[in-house]
Structure 1
Amino acid sequence: MSGIYIHIPFCKQACHYCDFHFSTSMKKKEDMITAICNEIQLRRNELEANTTIQTIYFGGGTPSVLSIPELNTILDQVYKHYKVINNVEITIEANPDDLTEEKIIELSKSKVNRLSIGIQSFFEEDLTLMNRAHNAQEALQCLSLATKKFDNISIDLIYGIPDMTVERWKKNIEIALSFGVPHISCYALTVEPNTALPKLIEKGEIAPVDDELAQEHFKILIATLDQYGFDHYELSNFGKPDFYSQNNTAYWQGKHYIGIGPSAHSYNGKQRSWNINNNSKYIKALQQNIIPRDIEGLSTTDRYNEYVMTGLRTQWGVSIIRIEKEFGTKYKKYLLKQAQKHLEEHLLFLDGDTLLVTKKGKFLSDGIASDLFLLNLG
């Protein structure tokens, strides 16, 4: 089975921390939808025969700026050109200010069956610092409405925000849990170079990000959600049983997917490709039936590194047997050699043939993975 990711590159305003591809101008929205539909059609033969679509994911940007008819136009093209399973997971990322009662009711009547809501914080000061388009009241209101119409809801929260006390972070988690949502994604605020955040920190308008505070927030998050029956199945993702994100799980487990829209990435096991991250050039190319993308062939080492990176972030870990079977004995020996110091420091542990990150090592998992990467194997 495979998945389709559809990038909707529009936002009402720019969040200070976001480095994803988007535009705050909606002028090209109609042309963009036409181009996206054309790319869906042009790429219909990329998947192997009889491959079915298990997940459809609208990301961005802010996909909830689209109307229901616009969403349906895109979905109709997917169903027309691909084999979609009956119980497909269809997710749309949404901002609280877009989720009016009318919009939620319309979405509940569409093919969309999962909402991923970008709450980020339930506190006004945090939302203002991040330059979010919604306010705290809209965050609460949209969840009150959405939980009446959707069972499968995920919300995003951000921790490590400057001046966010431990008490405020605990309150954020408490409020999220009070709505009974079955999935929560949490991310540390990071300072990306091509965003407004580093400039605001440099000017002294926002305090620097405190890594120690973020780590403390992370520990509180893990302990709290564990008490409420959430599985910490990936570094930033917590789900109740049967409510893991199928889309994201497929990505972490190395399944194939097609990325549609400007800046979207695709993966077929042997190659990775990415579309141009320019709306005008993307639209112009698709008007000529050209897919504006770059393609990179993945070497054995590339695939090994990617498996280590994604595996260590998840509860499934890295299989030593799979490493030897897919990549060879040299890779297995290298992995175990590099892992030794982390095993001794109790950041990693072996469960049978599976290499996993300990609770102590979870916050450091990306750095640990980089120590296990291979740059060249002669």
Structure 2
Amino acid sequence: MAGLYVHIPFCKSRCVYCGFYSTSLFSMSRRYVDALIQELRRRVSDYDGAWRTVYLGGGTPSTLAADELGRLFSAIDCSSAREVTIECNPDDVTADFVRQLSALPVNRVSMGAQTFDDDRLRFLRRRHKAADVAQAVARLRDAGIANISVDLMYGFPGETLADWNHDIDEALALDVEHISAYCLTYEESTPLYDMLLRGEVSEASEELTREMYYGLIARLSALGYEHYEVSNFSRQGGRSLHNSGYWTGEPYLGIGAAAHSYDGTRRLWNISDLPIYINKVERGECAYESESLTERELYNDMVMLALRTSEGIDLKKLGERFGSDAVDYCLKSARRYVDSSLLEHDANTLRLAHDGWYVSDMIISDLMKV
């Protein structure tokens, strides 16, 4: 079975760090939901239609009206889905919203807390206040949502280790099943990047962000959270099944403006323009482009994605898929990192060692074929 991703690009305001496609054209939300349903019906035949997981991401899916969410879910067969996730902004999780949510097949919620400091939230141009997160979690629990994830960020300009530990304290107090943590990055074409170029902000030092990262790993691990992917931690049974499908190379269908898909041999991506996307779907035209992946690209994808996880690269599967030469190439490229204790190698597995997590991007890059 495949995963289904539905992109909801609407945002009431744009965060300074965000490089994802989003729009404030809320006047087109009803037409957009209609287009999503049309695209799904048109493309579902490329998959078996029995979704392993369903994920509504964005943007901000929680900004859709109740009837729009209802119409969308009525078109999605969630009967086989083990996990149905919706991303929410904490301030959208009102009493009315959770009542509406209880009528939907959603069993997991992912919220962008980012930080529990109101000044840093304002810096990010987030809409919510720090206190909104705990209130949102409580309301979701009352609505029967037993699987909640929160996102955190670290490495803010001027942030101290004590500030970061306070954020970890607040996240742990929520008693959630899953925590994702990302270092603040300065992507081109974002307001944050422009602020950096103008000298208005300075990046946190590598020494500090390393200490923040490993401090998080130590604290969460001590409390029973499994560090199962570079940026993700879960309690037992709380892994994100949808995202895990990406890392293990499972096929997935992405619908909506800017959504991406993968069918095992091809990458496909939808147009990143809401009006053009809607018009194309309404006219029955193809709203996506695609590329067939070469053997080298498929090998690189497998190495890159698997090495991000705690399980690492299954060398037996790598050999079955790409041949013994590919395994030899991978191990030869990995040798210096194994010797320096950044990678661990046993008979059938190559995985990141503790000291390799922070420099995983460098290691992965060196193991890929150019």
The one-letter code matched in structure 2 to 1:202 is L
Q: Which amino acid aligns with 1:263?
A: A
- How far apart are residue 145 of structure 1 and its match? 2.1
* Aligned position for 2:21: 21
Q: In structure 1, what is the equivalent of residue 332 of structure 2? A: 337
**1:140 matched to which residue of 2?**
134
- Alignment correspondent of 1:110: 104
Matches within 5 A, 1:313-324: 313-324=308-319
For this pair of structures, how many residues does the alignment match? 369
Deviations 1:146-176 (A, max 9, x none): 2333210000001111111111111111111
Runs of 4+ in 1 over 6 A off after TM superposition: none
Task: Specify the alignment match of 1:36 in structure 2.
Answer: 36
Q: Kindly tell me: are residues 160 and 107 of structure 1, through their superposed partners in 2, closer, same or farther at Cα, counting changes over 3 Å?
A: same
Query: Which piece of structure 1 moves more, 219-228 or 27-36?
Result: 27-36
- How is 1:265-276 mapped onto 2 (pairs within 5 angstroms)? 265-276=260-271
- SS of residue matched to 1:286: helix
For the Cα contact (< 8 Å) 1:160–1:211, is it kept in 2?
no
Letter of the 1:147 counterpart: R
Match of 2:178 in 1: 183
Residue identity opposite 1:268 in structure 2 = D
Greater shift after overlay, 188-197 or 209-218?
209-218
In the alignment, the residues of structure 2 paired with residue 256 and residue 92 of structure 1 have an alpha-carbon distance, to the nearest angstrom, of: 20
Deviations 1:65-123 (CA, angstroms, capped at 9, x unpaired): 012221121111122xxxx4445311000001111122123212321111001111111
CA contact (8 A) 2:50 2:80 kept: no
Partner of 1:333, secondary structure, is helix
Q: Following TM superposition, by how much is the alpha carbon of 1:58 offset from its aligned partner in structure 2, in angstroms?
A: 0.2
TM-score normalized with structure 1 length: 0.95
Secondary structure of residue in 1 paired with 2:153: strand
Q: Alpha carbon RMSD of aligned pairs, Å?
A: 1.3
**2:352 aligns with one of 345, 350, 357:** 357
For 1:56, the equivalent position in structure 2 comes to: 54
Alignment partner of 1:165 is 2:160: yes
Whether 2:123 is the aligned partner of 1:129: answer yes
Report the AA paired with residue 104 of structure 2.
Answer: S
CA distance in 1, matches of 2:216, 2:195: 27
Aligned residue in 2 for 1:280: 275
What TM-score, normalized by structure 2, do the two folds share? Answer: 0.97
Secondary structure of residue in 1 paired with 2:105: coil
Opposite residue 332 of structure 2, the aligned amino acid is K
Unaligned runs of 5+ in 1: none
Deviations 1:241-298 (A, max 9, x none): 1111110111111111100001111011111100010111101100111221111101
* Identity among equivalent pairs (%): 37
1:68 match: 66
Distance 2:13 2:314 in 1: 43
2:148 and 2:23 map into 1 onto residues whose CA distance is 26
